[in-house]
A and B are shown apart, each in its own frame.
Chain A
Amino acid sequence: KAGVTQTPRYLIKTRGQQVTLSCSPISGHRSVSWYQQTPGQGLQFLFEYFSETQRNKGNFPGRFSGRQFSNSRSEMNVSTLELGDSALYLCASSLLGALNTEAFFGQGTRLTVV
């Protein structure tokens, strides 16, 4: 079965711009979580969506937002980009949510802010 698909794989943006990343979960999975991975901070939770509703949110500024569509696909948006937003953004898909079922990760989107 198809895995978690993230697009685009690589992105270069300049400071002040905004960016939208996309994640298509495994078919039938209703939960999508987003994580930011940087060398210094490791893997940090951004937010989780379940059935189009944000269920959990990490400690990130309001510039980071997301949404989930009725087909469970999710997007995250980062506005007014800063250099520190450069990171690998990973999304994870699970049937019901990470606590209840195993989470499967996509290949990630590597965002570079210059």
Chain B
Amino acid sequence: ELKVEQNPLFLSMQEGKNYTIYCNYSTTSDRLYWYRQDPGKSLESLFVLLSNGAVKQEGRLMASLDTKARLSTLHITAAVHDLSATYFCAGATNSGNTPLVFGKGTRLSVIA
């Protein structure tokens, strides 16, 4: 059974600083997703990582996938207040059309 663990679960960072959110998963995952959720809102898709070594960047966020280590990272560069949100990673196993398994989420707060 696929398990997905994120850390940290809470992150308070100053504007302008860099930080990384980690997502470990327990078994082979065919692909890895990162989502953002603002309070009271739905999940917004950020990245879909399809293969080992995949790296994707959008603005101040960069996501990468290492399937051998079963690890994905979401790196935040020069944080700004607008990035304050909860970030989720999710994976799905290779066998059949299995549903997404989500991590607990990382609540990010960017302060001045």
Contact = CB atoms under 8 A, between A and B. Distances in A.
The answer to whether A and B interact is yes
A56 B45 contact: no
Contact of B30 (A35, A58, A99): A99
Interface residues of B, number: 25
Given A43-B102, A99-B97, A90 B30 contact: no
B97 A100 contact: yes
Interface in A98-114: 98-100, 102-108
A62 interface: no
Given A42-B104, A42-B105, A102-B48, A56 B43 contact: no
B33 A33 contact: no
A106 B42 contact: yes
Interface of B (DSSP majority class): strand
Contacts, number: 59
B88 interface: yes
A31 B100 CA distance: 13
B33 A56 contact: no
Contacts of A43: 88, 90, 102, 105
Contact of B97 (A50, A105, A107, A108): A50
Contacts of A100: 97
22 contacts: A35-B102, A42-B103, A43-B88, A43-B105, A50-B97, A55-B97, A56-B98, A56-B99, A90-B43, A92-B43, A97-B97, A98-B92, A99-B31, A99-B93, A99-B94, A99-B96, A99-B98, A102-B48, A103-B33, A103-B45, A105-B43, A108-B42
Q: Which 5 A-B residue pairs are closest in the complex by CB-CB distance?
A: A43-B102, A97-B97, A105-B43, A45-B99, A105-B42
Interface of A: 31, 33, 35, 42-43, 45, 48, 50, 55-56, 58, 90, 92, 96-100, 102-108
